[in-house]
């Protein structure tokens, strides 16, 4: 895809909505988790196409490629602007992506009190972004939040938490829940139970975000299978704390395997709407998308499913549903959705390969970055908020020793 300033708008319209059919229903609870995983035949060739395109990157030296991708990142001016001109708090790419989700869908509604829970949230930019959105649009709302993540101060997480910036966590430590064993690992049922207990005291939870990811650098073609148990745990935790009619934002990648498709089918059945959205500030070459679930139906039936799911943690590998219990018109929609996002990702990779081989001039690159910011600004109109409404305002570094006393010390600098 050749990019010019007039095609910038399409970066903001990477969306797909599942269209729920009234005859769809979930299998009985005693007939779930009894098939092994498989790639769904209709999706197999889409997976092969994507892997074939990704494999072309093997020819390029990783270090040079990463440098090139960072330099040609179209959203770099957006983050610069939000940090330096809007003076927003703790701006990262994640901050920008969540702000897009919140602006593109009616996730936050005016309420006297808005409570949210954030799973897999270190270093915390989603929270800062949501705070900015609520303070700008509903300044009279009281915003309460709680977050959980792999505990960056826990020795066992030294190599897997990968959080290099603990400023936000240290200044808001009272809002973080690291669970029963203090690792913060959401795939451990005891940690989810501790989070639920804490959230009960918060009141109505209107939004849960889950942004978990694991390093799949060694097997990029198997990302979907590697993150399944994490996604499963995020759904189990989210649906136990979310109130009726609430929203859930879940980061996912591809939808080729029966495991992921079952999870998606489950969500589509228990939310009023489910959309797949790739924000313009999400890296164009990766598979990351956000599943935007709105209008949770918190019924007895839903919660029975969720507790059955919880009993399967932590090392879930099997899909929830047999392939023959998932309607073919749902599989067709997953196929259409996957085809759309795989096409976009493949085009982005091929366009980058082309630009790597024949670099575009510096001025052209700057113009595109400027246009991207212009469109982001035109759509989302992000203004400054007073410092007093920021989450780290007047918050000293917490007494981190309180956490360190309880865990095997690992200090994050
Ligand atoms: C992309 S980062 C989240 C970024 C965050 N939303 C933000 O805005 O700053 C993914 C996070 O998932 C966390 N994570 C990965 N596996 C986890 C697990 N099993 N339990 C809890 N958190 C996990 C990582 O520690 C990491 O902080």
User: Is residue 264 a part of any domain in this protein?
Assistant: yes
d(CA 240, CA 298): 9
Residue 39: predicted pLDDT? 84
| Residue 124 annotated as binding site | yes
Q: Structure pTM?
A: 0.94
Total domain count, the chain: 1
Angle separating helix axes 223-241 and 300-310, nearest 10 degrees: 130
Extract the tokens encoding 222: 């198997």
In the chain, % helix, strand, coil (3-state, to 5) comes to 50, 10, 40
Q: How confident is the prediction for the chain on average, in pLDDT?
A: 91
d(CA 239, CA 232): 11
d(CA 310, CA 250): 18
Question: CB of 412 closer than 6 A to ligand 1?
Answer: no
What is the DSSP track for 99-167? HHHHHHTT-----SEEEEEEES-TT-HHHHHHHHHHHHH-TTSEEEEEE----TTBGGGTTTS-----H
User: Is residue 73 a part of any domain in this protein?
Assistant: yes
Question: CB of 101 closer than 6 A to ligand 1?
Answer: no
Pocket test for ligand 1, best of 158, 211, 289 (most atoms within 8 A of CB): 211
Extract the tokens encoding 209: 């975000």
Q: Which atom of ligand 1 is nearest to the CA of 186?
A: 20
User: Is residue 89 a part of any domain in this protein?
Assistant: yes
Neighbours of 273 (CB within 10 A): 15
Question: CB of 246 closer than 6 A to ligand 1?
Answer: no
User: Is residue 38 a part of any domain in this protein?
Assistant: yes
d(CA 138, CA 115): 13
User: Is residue 206 a part of any domain in this protein?
Assistant: yes
Closest CA to 188 of 215, 217, 156: 156
Pocket test for ligand 1, best of 92, 146, 212 (most atoms within 8 A of CB): 212
Summarised one tens digit per residue, pLDDT across range 267-278 is: 999 999 999 999
Pocket test for ligand 1, best of 149, 283, 315 (most atoms within 8 A of CB): 149
For the CA atoms of 127, 304, 290, 249, the dihedral, rounded to the nearest 10 degrees, stands at -20
| Residue 211 annotated as binding site | yes
Question: CB of 192 closer than 6 A to ligand 1?
Answer: no
Can you tell me the mean pLDDT for 234-245?
98
Neighbours of 403 (CB within 10 A): 20
d(CA 75, CA 96): 9
Closest CA to 129 of 140, 113, 142, 116: 116
Summarised one tens digit per residue, pLDDT across range 244-284 is: 999 999 999 999 999 999 999 999 999 999 999 999 999 99
User: Is residue 413 a part of any domain in this protein?
Assistant: no
Q: Does residue 20 come out as left (phi exceeding 0), alpha (psi in the -120 to 50 range) or beta?
A: beta
Q: Which is more confident, 65 or 143?
A: 143
User: Is residue 272 a part of any domain in this protein?
Assistant: yes
- The model's confidence at residue 294, banded by pLDDT at 50, 70 and 90, is very high
* Residues 148 and 208 sit within 8 Å (Cβ to Cβ): no
Residue 405: predicted pLDDT? 60
Angle separating helix axes 223-241 and 258-270, nearest 10 degrees: 20
pLDDT at 2 over 90: no
Neighbours of 199 (CB within 10 A): 21
User: Is residue 312 a part of any domain in this protein?
Assistant: yes
pLDDT at 371 over 60: yes
Residue 70: predicted pLDDT? 86
Closest CA to 381 of 142, 133, 128, 109: 133
pLDDT at 411 over 60: no
What is the CATH classification number for the domain harbouring 59? 3.40.50.12760
Residue 230 CA to ligand 1 centre (angstroms)? 10
Q: What's the burial of 155, exposed, middle or buried (CB within 10 Å: 0-12/13-18/19+)?
A: exposed
Residue 353: predicted pLDDT? 92
How far is residue 380 CA from its own chain's centroid? Answer: 19
d(CA 151, CA 161): 7
- The model's confidence at residue 212, banded by pLDDT at 50, 70 and 90, is very high
The catalytic residue positions are: 251
Residue 144: phi, psi to the nearest 5?
A: -120, 140
Domain with 402, as residue range(s), is: 5-406
* Residues 182 and 406 sit within 8 Å (Cβ to Cβ): yes
Question: CB of 212 closer than 6 A to ligand 1?
Answer: yes
Can you tell me the mean pLDDT for 303-318?
92
Question: CB of 187 closer than 6 A to ligand 1?
Answer: yes
């Amino acid at each position: 895809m050749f990019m010019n300033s007039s095609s910038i708008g399409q970066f903001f319209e990477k969306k797909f909505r599942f269209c729920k059919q009234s005859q769809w229903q979930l299998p009985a609870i005693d007939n779930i988790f009894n098939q092994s995983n498989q790639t769904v035949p209709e999706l197999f060739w889409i997976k092969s196409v994507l892997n074939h395109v990704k494999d072309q990157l093997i020819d390029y030296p990783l270090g040079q490629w990463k440098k090139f991708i960072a330099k040609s990142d179209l959203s770099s001016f957006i983050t610069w602007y939000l940090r330096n001109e809007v003076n927003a708090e703790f701006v990262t790419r994640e901050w920008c992506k969540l702000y897009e989700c919140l602006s593109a869908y009616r996730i936050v509604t005016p309420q006297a009190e808005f409570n949210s829970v954030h799973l897999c949230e270190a270093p915390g930019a989603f929270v800062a972004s949501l705070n900015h959105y609520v303070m700008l649009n509903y300044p009279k709302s009281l915003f309460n939040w709680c977050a959980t993540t792999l505990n960056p101060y826990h020795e066992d997480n030294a190599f897997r938490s990968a959080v290099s910036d603990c400023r936000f966590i240290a200044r808001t430590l009272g809002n973080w829940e690291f669970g029963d064993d203090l690792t913060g690992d959401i795939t451990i049922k005891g940690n989810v139970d501790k989070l639920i207990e804490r959230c009960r005291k918060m009141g109505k939870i209107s939004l849960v975000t889950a942004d978990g990811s694991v390093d799949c650098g060694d097997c990029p073609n198997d990302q979907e299978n590697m993150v399944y148990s994490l996604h499963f745990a995020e759904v189990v935790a989210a649906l136990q704390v979310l109130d009726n009619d609430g929203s859930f934002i879940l980061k996912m990648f591809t939808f080729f395997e029966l495991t992921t498709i079952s999870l998606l089918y489950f969500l589509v059945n228990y939310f009023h709407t489910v959309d797949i959205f790739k924000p313009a500030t999400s890296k164009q070459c990766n598979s990351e998308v956000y599943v935007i679930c709105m209008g949770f139906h918190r019924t007895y039936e839903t919660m029975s499913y969720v507790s059955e799911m919880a009993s399967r943690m932590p090392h879930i590998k099997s899909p929830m549903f047999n392939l023959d219990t998932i309607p073919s018109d749902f599989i067709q929609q997953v196929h259409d959705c996957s085809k759309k996002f795989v096409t976009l990702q493949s085009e982005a990779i091929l366009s980058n390969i082309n630009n790597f081989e024949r670099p575009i001039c510096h001025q052209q690159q700057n113009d595109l970055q400027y246009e991207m910011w212009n469109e982001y600004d035109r759509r989302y109109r992000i203004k400054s908020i007073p410092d007093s409404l920021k989450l780290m305002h007047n918050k000293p570094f917490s007494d981190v020793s309180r956490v360190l006393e309880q865990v095997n010390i690992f200090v994050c600098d």
